[in-house]
Structure 1
Amino acid sequence: MEPVIRITGLSKTYKSGFAALRNIDLEIRRGEIFALLGPNGAGKTTLISVICGIVNPTTGTVLADGHDIVRDYRASRSAIGLVPQELSTDAFETVWATVNFSRGLFGKPRDHALVEKILRDLSLWDKKDSKIMTLSGGMKRRVMIAKALSHEPSILFLDEPTAGVDVELRRDMWNLVRGLRERGTTIILTTHYIEEAEEMADRIGVISKGELILVEDKTQLMRKLGKKQLTLQLQAPLAAIPAELAGYPLELSADGQELVYTFDTQGEHTGIAGLLRRLTDHGIDFKDLHSSESSLEEIFVSLVRTNA
Structure 2
Amino acid sequence: MAAAAVPIGRSVSVKVPATSANLGPGFDTLGLALSLYDELEVTTRHEPGATVTVTGVGAGEVPTDASNLVVQAIAFTFDRYGVELPGLFLLANNRIPHGRGMGSSGAAIVAGVMAAKGLLEGIVELDSHALLSIATDMEGHPDNVAPALFGGLTIAWTSESGPQHKKLIVHRGVTPLVCVPEATMSTALARSLRPESVPHEDAIFNVSRSALLIAALIQSPELLLAATEDRLHQNYRASAMPDTTSLVEELRAQGLAAVVSGAGPSILVLCSDPAQRLAAAEIVAAHEGTPWQSLMLAVDFKGATVILHPAEASA
> Please, what TM-score do these two structures have when normalized by structure 1?
0.28
Kindly indicate whether structure 1 or structure 2 has the higher relative contact order, using CA contacts under 8 Å at least 6 residues apart.
2
Determine which structure has more spread, i.e. the larger CA radius of gyration: 1
